[in-house]
Amino acid sequence: MAEKSRGVFATLFFWAWSLFNFIRRFVFGVIALFLLLIFFVALRAGGGKVVLQERTALVLDPKGNIVEQYSSDPAQRAFAGAFGQKIREVQLRDLIRTIDAAAADKRIERLVIEPDQIASAGMSTLHEIGAAIERFKAAGKEVVAVSNSMSQGQYLIAAHANEVLLHPDGDLLLEGLGRYRTYYKDALDWLGVDVHLFRVGEYKSYAEPYIRNDASPESKEADLYWMNGVWGDYLKEIGGARKLDPKAIAAQIENYSTSIKAANGDLAKLALDAKLVDKLATRDEAEALLIQKGVKEENSFRQIDFQDYATLVQRENPLDTRPQVGVVVAQGEILDGDQAAGTVGGESTAKLVRQARENRNIKAVVLRVNSPGGSAFASELIRREIELTKAAGKPVIVSMGDVAASGGYWISMNGDQIFAEPTTITGSIGIFGLFMNFPKTLAKLNVHTDGVGTTSLAGALDPRRALDPKVGDIIQSIIDKGYQNFITKVAAARKKKPEEIDAIARGRVWSGAQAKERGLVDQLGGLREATAAAAQAAKLGDNYQVRYVEKSLSAWERFIVSLSNDASASFVHSLVPKSMRTLLAQPDVQGQLKLLSSLDSNKVGVFAYCFCEIK
């Protein structure tokens, strides 16, 4: 009887699952057909193209994080754009290209900067944008910055404007650079957790919070040294842009307690008195000023958003057949294996370098690094591909962004030339290993571990057991070997002796300017300068184009990108019902669509995908 019941239950379960699977396939089939219909209707609709008129102002109002490379895939971004979702990332390359194109475009009269919604951007990233703004001004065009409230990072861009307008009730406060961390030693001791840190270099402080309750003297010394260098460059840049003495700006900051009180707490007035801004103006007053400067159009000034302008420029430019300088982006933590965009993968990033090497149209390679490091093995895979690319006769130039430290320096060391911004964070040539075990923690709960092993190493890294000192010696020996390997490779790449590298390594961090003084960097400059150097090394002169070497889009991704890039994307957005847009914005639906984008029509695959989320 029990077997019969089980049989009935299994049958019911089978039919229930079949029904669910049918409904799932039907729903997504309908969505796919609906999107296909929208696509063809949009194509037929045509029109809607942006027409750029004379005396137009380009509005630069990036929202979210400014990154080297998107952290989401093309399909996700395309769906978000087509269905009215906000993308909270902007690529640095797109901003630079747009500003430079506008500088040469006679239809663009001025640049209007609205920096308030920049969420995150490194100092070197902001410096590169500032340099592009200066090129725009050098073309004889005006730049106006309009802000409600600015952080010191946002101000680094605004300071390059000919005129800076701040809301009367807004604020601008320059505070300097700080690095404060949370330390856990007492808490871990109280929990009974044993922490074992293996490292080479007294300045390799990444894991100090687990073994100390405060920063070590070496950590404070090194951090303050490079931060003073970066902060000095910041003051120098805004001082130069605003025609102010950097020392006077620094003195004002130190005197804030008095000056803010004297201004009755009015930070906007204080910024005006300090000549950090030119005028206090509400939004409507700023808009009226811009109308007066330009052309009135639809109750505002004639303008185009930088994203719309970038699309327009791309459409207007014909197919470029010139020789290529290939740019490979290494952004984020360095991890083993194949990784998505926004993260450096030992296998995936090495493959991109290899593709650049094997592409006959690419005559030189620029490795754009913005990474704090990670896996040493993954770093070595990428470094080796750089070495092979040079051996194949293609120049490799490294361009360091905000940070290229530790593993980020490892993958950079073999470049024919290394470029860094003065504010780049680099160096940190060192290695560490961290292991935690918690037998004392378990003992507090009256839980114990026991057993046997065929050798003394069997189960030695079981976190429930105490670490055998002999095993600790083994790990430290491996770390020592890794460090010697690191400095030996750097010495060979930089044509120095290992002991010379050791003296400036030992995990110590430097600014880009400090690294150049110590021979770890060849030139100070950004991606633009590195690309020009790559073209020169390949003897291309000025006759070249820049191509980013990235993962190829699948057929599904190309379809979605074409849909979102079409000039009638706004028409698509208006056509799609709100309920459908809401459905497509759901994380589980986007996950299913991402899965669909990974399918290869030439292969038969079995996919296990859980349409679920635990909260």
The catalytic residues are 204, 406
Tokens of 413: 């060391």
The total of other beta-carbon atoms located within 10 Å of residue 27's CB is: 13
Give dist(CA 143, CA 134) in Å, integer. 9
Question: Residue 166's Cα: distance from chain center in Å?
Answer: 28
**Amino acid at residue number 126:** L
CA–CA gap between residue 87 and residue 82 (Å, rounded): 11
Phi/psi for 21 (5° steps) reads: -65, -40
| Pair 467, 435: CB distance under 8 Å | yes
AA identity, residue 129: I
Least Cα distance to 593 among 86, 16, 34 occurs for 34
DSSP state of 287: H
Residue 136 CB burial class (10 angstroms; 0-12, 13-18, ≥19): buried
Q: Which two tokens stand for residue 188?
A: 């871990």
CB 286 within 8 A of CB 114: no
Give the SS3 label for residue 477: helix
Half-sphere exposure of 435 (CA within 13 A, CB side): 22
Q: Report the C-alpha gap between 99 and 113 in whole angstroms.
A: 11
| Nearest-5° Cα angle at 424, 420 to 428 | 105
| Contact (CB, 8 A) for 411 and 334 | yes
Alpha-carbon radius of gyration of the chain: 28
Q: Is 349 exposed, middle or buried (0-12, 13-18, 19+ CB in 10 A)?
A: buried
Query: Where do the H-state alpha helices sit in 495-568?
Result: 498-504, 512-517, 527-537, 555-565
With CA atoms as reference, report the closest residue to 515 among 497, 498, 490: 490
DSSP-derived pairing of the beta strands 56-60 and 324-331: unpaired
Give the DSSP per-residue string, 359-394: -TTEEEEEEEEEE--B-HHHHHHHHHHHHHHHHTT-
Please state, in angstroms and as integers, the Cα–Cα distance from residue 11 to each residue in 8, 15, 385, 389, following that order: 5, 6, 56, 60
523 three-class SS:
strand
